[in-house]
Amino acid sequence: MAYRLAWRIGADSVEPDVVGTRDGVLVCRHDLDLDRTTDVAAHPEFAHRRRRMEIDGKLEHGWFVQDFDLAELRTLGARERWPQRRPTSAMYDGQAGVVTLEELLDLRETESRRAGRELGVHIELKHPEVFAEIGMPLHEPLVDLLRRRRLDASLAPAAVMSFDGDVLRRMRHDVDTELVQLVDKGESVKRRRLQKIATYATAVGLHKSHAVERPVAKAFGSGLDVLVWTLREETPVDVSRLFDLGVDGVLTDFPEIAVAVRDERVARVA
């Protein structure tokens, strides 16, 4: 599993994207549409579930996770979203299935014991507005889960991230977990907005295009920690330069690169 591998490579935390099933289970998935990353199209029993849906202003035609319960999702095999870019990853298509957030938190505990330190998890709530509209608000089961797992305190090895500030504000009333407001490419990083974010979040997740000196300094000046997303080997970014700016963490699909830079800098200081 990629999460286990990232922790064992040396990542301090993993970042699952989280959505909900029809029966209210939080699962680790980036897309609402199952067609891109599972073999759902090869299952004739689900052919009638294919439909159109507007997501982020775009009309998509596919199979959507909120139309399936967990037992049905368990019958699907996962596959690489970008097989042309990542043929090595695509070699494992069909060998794994959909992982629930609870299962990932179980794995976090196991790997923390193995590593002899508390490993982290940064949970990104995807499309919370979609689930709210159908009466399945994602933050409610997440709050319950964090409380049950004792991950709802300010120093817990867990954080919740979202592009949706409203869902983070609602969570702030229920948990003391670190909250991260994600800021997309092209969005404002003016001081006034950062100060507003600081009223409900403890950190800001800047798109890598924003990760230059002035925005980072303004975020620090507003009392926010700074994460940068998402670094990929196909579109390289100088990780060392980001650390020079003082950012608190980077989100990357290739943790071995960031870990190597981090460890080299630690060794240099020591």
Residue 18 DSSP SS3: strand
77 shares a domain with 190: no
pLDDT band (50, 70, 90) for residue 118: very high
DSSP count for the chain of H helices, then E strands: 11, 11
> What pTM did the predictor assign?
0.94
Range of the domain at 73: 28-90
154 shares a domain with 42: no
For the cut 70, the answer to whether the pLDDT of residue 63 exceeds it is yes
Express each pLDDT in 147-191 by its tens digit: 999 999 999 999 999 999 999 999 999 999 999 999 999 998 999
238 shares a domain with 129: yes
CB 224 within 8 A of CB 159: no
Token digits for 51?
């439909």
For the cut 90, the answer to whether the pLDDT of residue 50 exceeds it is yes
Q: Give a yes or no: residue 41 inside a domain.
A: yes
For the cut 90, the answer to whether the pLDDT of residue 229 exceeds it is yes
- pLDDT of res. 208: 92
134 shares a domain with 255: yes
